[in-house]
Structure 1
Amino acid sequence: MSAAAVARKDFLDVRRAKIVWFVVGVYVLLTALFFVQVRLADAGGPDGPPAVLRALWNVAFVGAVFVPAVALVSAYLAVAGERESGSIKFLLSTPITRRDVVVGKYVSRAAVVAASLALAFAVAAALSAVWFGSLRTGTFAGIAALTTVYALAYVAVAIGISASTASRAQAMAAALGFYFSTNVMTLVDGMSALAALRYALNELLGLGVGEDATRFLGVLTNPTQAYLVAVQLAFPAGFMDLPAADGVAWYARPEVAVVVLLAWLVAPILFGLRRFERADIG
């Protein structure tokens, strides 16, 4: 038995989980509703941004909020659930390693999440073609690719959490804590950890740290912030008053955010695997 065998078995199990498909269904519905909203409002006019771009901008925003929920719900119990039930002991009694378990679980949960995103973007593509007569292929492909990487980064976080915890309650608490601190509070700027850091460095200590430096710290420590910066690459220059590339430091540019987002695919898995390999399963 190997990581591939673990992935196949786990995929069959997770696809029967109703809560996963409920969350996926809500995300697909929200994606469609954002297109409906732009279609009904049609406020761009001939001098405003094209409707399809505004709809895709909305898709990126709802993705920033909701994709992490889809990923975390799909994967946070992947290992911890089996540890609590005791079934992990049987799994490890076969010729597989703990690394096989973690990697296999990640592959299966990532496949489920990627499939849900493919469905959502298929709906978005159909609505774009029917309602707006244009798909804006470059922008659409860029958003789809970056959103998928973003989702898989949160799957990696969920698997890392699940491999690091011994019970459902611990995994749920850690997943909720991570979601609120890196997602919900990020979108409320005054409540975010980055806002607190900016206040401490500049207001309390008077260090005068620039906006680019604090922006980079946010990107480095927060996958949601990295996604929101990286997704700017998908849109044409000047859209929605996005900052020009030459107006920010190199380390605060969207290209760097993409690299950081890719790093989030690996780092949580390595952390969780290290903890899982040292855990006393009993």
Structure 2
Amino acid sequence: MSVVGVLRKDFKDVRRAKLVWAPAVVYTLFMLLFFWGQSQSTNPDFYQILWGLVGIGGALLIPLIALVAAYLSIAGERESGSIKFLLGLPNTRTDVVVGKVLSRSAVVTAGVLVAFVIGVPAAALLVPDMTFEYGDYVLFAAVTVLYAVAYVAVAVAISAATASRSRAMSGAIGFFFLFNLVWNFLPVGPVQMIGFLSDQFNVEVSDSVTELVYSISPTGAYLNGILKLIMPDRFNAQAGAVVADPPFFIQGWFMVLILAAWVVVPLALGAWRFRRAELG
């Protein structure tokens, strides 16, 4: 069966799940809501819509879409025992992990892209006077898809490393809480801890380093990537100044590399852990 066989079988199974498509529908509704909101403005702002989608998508909906779609991809089959049938075919455990990542990523990508496709005619109908920046819109969609796939890879890795539905769910919730809410939004994240410790020990830490720490999480990389690649003027306004010749590790392209690393590294770790697992 190999990777392609696992992909086809899993895609057919998961695409019927309403729970997988529900968050994508919600994301589409929020997009339409933002377009409608700009239609009420005398000076509609295309980038205000994108930033609204970054906020609601980066903080909640995109991770939710990906985690719901993928956290039971392997753990669910291990608990039910169907994983033995899948491995009884000519598949390696690595084939299973890679196939699951590809199939769940395909479903999530389809849901997200449907929302972006709907957004084009919605903008023309709801906000005809707004200048629609197609190039930035495509780039925004591409980075958002990569962000979603990163969360899929994490969810599949967690699923591969756990033997039950409850543990997979706990792992997915724990990852979301730590690397989304705590890391980037709550006042107890690593950036705040660095600031506290630097004050206590009178050690100066550059803004570039703290920004890199903020961007290590998938959500931080996504937020900074969108700002720097698509909305640099808004980023500079929020930062309070234009940084001349910033270090490479806080530039927009490096944020994309961080997101790509969140795809590759969890996938490798998940496959390694699953190869060593006792399936009973």
CA shift in 2, pair 1:248/1:190, >3 Å: farther
Partner residue in 2 for 1:223:
218
Partner residue in 2 for 1:194:
191
> Which among 57, 67, 80 is matched to residue 63 of structure 1?
57
C-alpha displacement of 1:248: 3.5
The 8 Å contact of residues 11 and 108 in structure 1, kept in 2 or not, is answered as: yes
Give me the identity figure in percent. Answer: 39
1:155-208 CA distance string (max 9 Å, x none): 1100111111111011000100111111123442413233223323x1233321
Q: What SS class does the counterpart of residue 187 from structure 2 fall into?
A: helix
Superposition misfits of 4+ residues, deviation over 4 angstroms:
none
Partner residue in 1 for 2:249:
251
The 8 Å contact of residues 7 and 103 in structure 2, kept in 1 or not, is answered as: yes
Whether 1:22 aligns to 2:22 is yes
Partner residue in 2 for 1:95:
90
Partner residue in 1 for 2:140:
143
Whether 1:53 aligns to 2:51 is no
Which AA in structure 1 matches 2:187?
Answer: G
CA shift in 2, pair 1:245/1:75, >3 Å: farther
Which AA in structure 2 matches 1:56?
Answer: L
> Which among 233, 248, 261 is matched to residue 259 of structure 2?
261
The CA RMSD over aligned residues, in Å, is 1.8
Partner residue in 2 for 1:153:
150
Partner residue in 2 for 1:122:
117
Matches within 5 A, 1:229-248: 229-239=224-234, 241-243=237-239, 244=242, 246=244, 248=246
CA shift in 2, pair 1:257/1:92, >3 Å: same
Bigger Cα displacement from structure 2, 30-39 vs 101-110:
30-39
- Structure 2: how far apart are the matches of 1:85 and 1:238? 52
Which AA in structure 1 matches 2:57?
Answer: G
Partner residue in 1 for 2:202:
206
| TM-score normalized with structure 1 length | 0.91
CA shift in 2, pair 1:117/1:6, >3 Å: same
Question: What is the count of residue pairs matched by the alignment?
Answer: 274
The 8 Å contact of residues 189 and 195 in structure 1, kept in 2 or not, is answered as: no
